[in-house]
C-alpha cells in the first residue's frame, strides 16, 4: 500500500468520521420452526469463553431485538456469519490523530478504523450449526446464539477463564501481546444505544488493536500561533497510521463490566502482517 493510498484513506476516514461497520443487509433465512426459550436479563453471562480445539470454531452471534423472535435470531446468525468471514481474512487501516497545545484546553485525540473483509458473508449462515434448545438466549439485551463453524484443518485456541461475572479477567487488567503463539488484541466499547452495537464495536476495537501491531507510520508537524502581545501557542499534531492484513481472527473471550455495561473483547490472530 503506497503513501498516496494511505493519505486517501486518512482523508476518507476523517471526512466521514468514524463509521460503525454493522451490516443489516441480506434476506432472512427460513423461518425458525421452534419457539425459543426466554431468559431473564443477564442470563447470557458476563464472561464468555469460546476456547476451541479441533476442526471447528465456536462463535457467539449477537443480534438486536426484532418484532419476532425469528428476526432476532436471524440478526444474531448474521453477526456470527460475519465473525466466521473475518476468520478468513481482514485488511485494516487505523488512524490516530493527536492535537497538543500549550494548555489543557488545546488537547484533543481521535481515531478512525476502516475494515475490509468479505462483505458477502451471509453465505456463511448455511455453514453454521447450533442446538435450538441449548444455544439460544433471548432477553431484553438481545438475542445470543452460540454456533459452530467447521474448518478444513484443525485449530487449537484454548485460553482458561481468568475472571468471573464481577471480577475483571487478567487480560483486561494486563492485555497480553501473544497467546499460545498467536498475536493477541484487546478491544473495548462503551455502552451504546443498542446493546448488540456495543458488542460489535468491542470486537472491531480488538481488530483495530491487532492492526496497530502491524507496520505504522507517523506524521508530525508544529504550528506556532501568536496571540496578543508576546503570547505564543505552540501546537503539535501527530497522525499515526497503521495498516495490516490479518488472517485467523478469532474471539477467545468477552467480558461485560457489570458496573457500566462496557464490553471487553479478547481476540487472537494467526497472522498479522503490516502493509
Give per-residue pLDDT as tens, 40-62. Answer: 555 566 788 999 999 999 999 99
pLDDT on residue 17: 37
Where do the structural domains in the chain lie, given as residue ranges? 3-15+37-98+106-219+241-274
Q: What is the pLDDT of residues 186-222, one digit of tens each?
A: 999 999 988 889 999 999 999 999 999 887 776 766 6
- Cβ–Cβ < 8 Å for 93, 114: yes
- Check residues 8 and 114 and name the one with the higher pLDDT: 114
Q: Please enumerate in sequence order all residues whose Cβ is within 8 A of that of 30, keeping only pairs 6 or more positions apart, or say none.
A: none
Pick the closest to residue 150 from 69, 70, 59, 55 (CA basis).
55
Grouping H, G, I as helix, E, B as strand and the rest as coil, residue 101 is coil
Amino acid at each position: 500500500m503506497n503513501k498516496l493510498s494511505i493519505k486517501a484513506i486518512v482523508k476518507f476516514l476523517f471526512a466521514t468520521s468514524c463509521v460503525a461497520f454493522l451490516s443489516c443487509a441480506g434476506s432472512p433465512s427460513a423461518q425458525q420452526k421452534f419457539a425459543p426459550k426466554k431468559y431473564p436479563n443477564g442470563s447470557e453471562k458476563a464472561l464468555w469463553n469460546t476456547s476451541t480445539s479441533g476442526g471447528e470454531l465456536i462463535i457467539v452471534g449477537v443480534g438486536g431485538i426484532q418484532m419476532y423472535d425469528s428476526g432476532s435470531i436471524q440478526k444474531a446468525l448474521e453477526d456470527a456469519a460475519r465473525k466466521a468471514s473475518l476468520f478468513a481474512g481482514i485488511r485494516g487501516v487505523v488512524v490516530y490523530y493527536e492535537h497538543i497545545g500549550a494548555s489543557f484546553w488545546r488537547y484533543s485525540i481521535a481515531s478512525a478504523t476502516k475494515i475490509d473483509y468479505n462483505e458477502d458473508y451471509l453465505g456463511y449462515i448455511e455453514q453454521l450449526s447450533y442446538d435450538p434448545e441449548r444455544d439460544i438466549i433471548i432477553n431484553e439485551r438481545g438475542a445470543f446464539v452460540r454456533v459452530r463453524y467447521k474448518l478444513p484443518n484443525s485449530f487449537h485456541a484454548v485460553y482458561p477463564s481468568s475472571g468471573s461475572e464481577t471480577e475483571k479477567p487478567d487480560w483486561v487488567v494486563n492485555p497480553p501481546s501473544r497467546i499460545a503463539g498467536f498475536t493477541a488484541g484487546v478491544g473495548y466499547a462503551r455502552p451504546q444505544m443498542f446493546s448488540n452495537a456495543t458488542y460489535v464495536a468491542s470486537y472491531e476495537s480488538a481488530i483495530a488493536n491487532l492492526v496497530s501491531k502491524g507496520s505504522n507510520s507517523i506524521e508530525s508537524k508544529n504550528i506556532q500561533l501568536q496571540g496578543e502581545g508576546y503570547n505564543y501557542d505552540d501546537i503539535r499534531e501527530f497522525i499515526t497510521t497503521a495498516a495490516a492484513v490479518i488472517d485467523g481472527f478469532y474471539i477467545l473471550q468477552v467480558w461485560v463490566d457489570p458496573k457500566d455495561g462496557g464490553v471487553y473483547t479478547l481476540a487472537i490472530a494467526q497472522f498479522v502482517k503490516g502493509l
